[in-house]
Structure 1
Amino acid sequence: MARWNPAHVALRTTAGAFILNTGIGKWKGDEKTAAGVHGMAKGTYPFLDAVAPQPFLKALAAGEITLGAALLTPFVPAAVVGAGLTGFAASLLGLYLGTPGMHDKLRPTQQGNAIAKDVWLLGMGAALLADGLRRKRS
């Protein structure tokens, strides 16, 4: 069983609660919400065009709920949740970089601020992953 690291509490609880809440909100999303989220995502990730908007939103919501809950669960190893959070944040930043109007060079526009802030999630995930892997080798 993984050892709960007190230094990870702030990283895991803030990211976990935020992502869990976002996933729960998406789970209740209507057709309009699904179409908007799906439309934005498939603009950057064209393979998502093969998935209908409502199932896409449900899958995204389930992924966020799972990741958020894992971050909040003490016995899930830091390396595991760090890898999950890093991958999730990287996909969000890919959306930021791949969507026209979100940034001017790398600097966020007003439209891009909501996603550009997810760079913090990437840093949190990388810190959890690195520390989890370091502790595994010790």
Structure 2
Amino acid sequence: MRLSNAILRGISGAYILQSGLGKKDLPVEAYEGLQAMAATGVPQLKEWDAKTFGQALWISETALGAALLTPFVSKRLAGLALTAFSAGMLTMYFNNDSMTQDDGIRPTHEGTPLSKDVWLAAIGLSLVFQPKD
């Protein structure tokens, strides 16, 4: 693995792994809040049970973080997974009017934490489109 790939995968993978593990034992009320936010991007998530949503969320984030940190997972597969994850996060950003300014792109103060997921999308696409080693 190239050093540049290790840096891209290591930083984003460690961040996402920690985020997923941090959601493991949250109370149902916290899962309900996360679910409501996620449903602004993917409305079908409203239909899930909050505990099931929370479990799926922490497991999928943890799995994504682990895949990014595991060297034998191809960079393209890891990049596709990271791109899909960040696209899901960005749907919440773009579909929630309070997160963007009047132009629909620049973040408001409330939208800044989600707008940063554009960097995860860039990392994912970088891994996907790098030439073969």
Distance 1:128 1:71 in 2: 10
What is the aligned partner in structure 2 of residue 36 from structure 1?
33
What is the aligned partner in structure 2 of residue 130 from structure 1?
129
2:72 is the alignment partner of 1:75: yes
- Alignment TM-score, normalising by the size of structure 2: 0.94
Q: RMSD over aligned Cα, in angstroms?
A: 1.1
How many residues in Structure 1 have an aligned counterpart in Structure 2?
A: 131
2:121 is the alignment partner of 1:107: no
Distance 1:43 1:95 in 2: 5
8 Å CA contact 2:31, 2:51 repeated in 1: yes
Structure 1 unmatched ranges of 5 or more:
none
What is the aligned partner in structure 1 of residue 90 from structure 2?
93
Match of 2:47 among 47, 50, 53: 50
Identity of aligned residues (%): 36
Distance 1:118 1:49 in 2: 22
Structure 2 unmatched ranges of 5 or more:
none
Distance 1:92 1:62 in 2: 16
C-alpha displacement of 1:100: 2.3
**SS of residue paired to 1:135:** coil
Distance 1:94 1:35 in 2: 18
Distance 1:42 1:36 in 2: 10
Distance 1:46 1:68 in 2: 25
1:68-98 C-alpha deviation (Å, 9 max, x unpaired): 0010011110000000000000110111001
Moved over 6 A (4+): none
1:25-64 C-alpha deviation (Å, 9 max, x unpaired): 1112111210100011112311112101111011011110
2:19 is the alignment partner of 1:22: yes
What is the aligned partner in structure 2 of residue 6 from structure 1?
3
- Alignment TM-score, normalising by the size of structure 1: 0.91
